[in-house]
Amino acid sequence: MIERVRAVLVTPDDTMLVIRRTRPGIPEYWVLPGGGVEPGDASREAALHREIHEEIAGKADVVRLLHTMESDDERQLFYLARITTWSFDDRTGPEFSAEGRGAYALEEIPLTVEGLDGIDLKPEEIAHVLRVAIGDGNLGAEATA
80-111 pLDDT, tens digit per residue, is 999 999 998 888 766 655 556 788 899 999 99
Domain 2-144 has CATH 3.90.79.10: yes
Strand ranges inside the chain, DSSP E = 2-10, 15-23, 26-31, 34-36, 59-70, 74-85, 103-110
Domain ranges of the chain: 2-144
Residue 97 neighbours by CB distance under 10 Å: 8
Q: Which residues of the chain have pLDDT under 50?
A: 142, 144-145
Write down the mean pLDDT value for the chain.
90
User: Residue 72 contacts by C-beta under 8 Å, 6 or more apart in sequence?
Assistant: none
Instruction: Name the pTM for this structure.
Output: 0.90
What confidence score (pLDDT) does residue 145 get?
A: 46
What confidence score (pLDDT) does residue 90 get?
A: 85
